[in-house]
Amino acid sequence: MPHYLDHAATTPALPQVVTAMAEQMAVPGNASSLHTAGRAARRVVEESRETIAAGLGAGPSEVVFTSGGTESDNLAVKGLYYQRRADDPRRTRLIVSAIEHHAVLDCVDFLVEYEGARITWVEPDPLGRIDPARVRAAIEQDPADVALVSVMWANNEVGTVQPIAEITSVAHEFGIPMHTDAVQAMGHLPIDFAAVGADLLTASGHKIGGPLGVGVLLARRDVRLRPLTQGGGQERGLRSGTLDVAAIRGMAVATALVTDGRAAESDRLASLRDKMIRGALDAGFDITVSGPHEVGDVERRLPGNVHLLVPDCDGDSLLYLLDAAGIECSTGSACQAGVPRPSHVLLAMGVPEARARGALRLSLGHTSDDSDVAAFLDALPAAVERAQRAHHAGRAGARPKGQ
Q: Is residue 112 part of a domain?
A: yes
- Give the three-state DSSP class for 229: coil
Residue 333: what pLDDT? 54
Contacts of 352 (CB under 8 A, 6+ apart): none
**Single residue among 240, 259, 278 that ends a domain in this structure:** 259
**Tens-digit pLDDT profile for residues 261-315:** 999 999 999 999 999 999 999 998 999 999 999 999 999 999 999 999 999 998 8
- Is there a single domain that holds both residue 229 and residue 141? yes
Instruction: State what percent of residues in the chain have pLDDT above 90.
Output: 92
- Is there a single domain that holds both residue 252 and residue 313? no
pTM: 0.95
Contacts of 329 (CB under 8 A, 6+ apart): 5, 6, 319, 322, 323, 360, 361, 362, 363, 376
CATH number for the domain spanning 124: value is 3.40.640.10
Q: Is the pLDDT of residue 109 over 90?
A: yes
Instruction: Give the Cα separation of 131 and 174 in Å (integer).
Output: 17
Q: Is residue 3 part of a domain?
A: no
Q: Is the dihedral of CA 318, 324, 327, 329 positive or negative?
A: positive
Instruction: Give the Cα separation of 152 and 174 in Å (integer).
Output: 20
- Is there a single domain that holds both residue 234 and residue 302? no
Q: Is residue 165 part of a domain?
A: yes
What is the extent of the structural domain holding 332? 262-396
**Single residue among 259, 282, 317 that ends a domain in this structure:** 259
Residue 334: what pLDDT? 46
- Is there a single domain that holds both residue 53 and residue 190? yes
Instruction: Give the Cα separation of 30 and 21 in Å (integer).
Output: 15
Residue 335: what pLDDT? 46
- Give the three-state DSSP class for 338: coil
Q: Is residue 156 part of a domain?
A: yes
CATH number for the domain spanning 312: value is 3.90.1150.10
Binning pLDDT at 50, 70 and 90, where does residue 332 land? confident
Q: Is residue 4 part of a domain?
A: no
- Is there a single domain that holds both residue 23 and residue 151? yes
How far lies 265's CA from each of 55, 104, 188, 259, 370, in Å?
16, 29, 8, 10, 14
Residue 341: what pLDDT? 79
Q: Is the pLDDT of residue 317 over 50?
A: yes
Q: Which residues does the annotation mark as catalytic?
A: 335
Residue 42: what pLDDT? 98
Q: What is the CA radius of gyration of the chain?
A: 22
Q: Is residue 10 part of a domain?
A: no
pLDDT, the chain, mean: 95
- Is there a single domain that holds both residue 89 and residue 116? yes
* Nearest residue to 30 (alpha-carbon basis) of 246, 250, 254: 246
Residue 309: what pLDDT? 97
The total domain count for the chain is 2
Q: Is residue 273 part of a domain?
A: yes
Q: Is residue 317 part of a domain?
A: yes
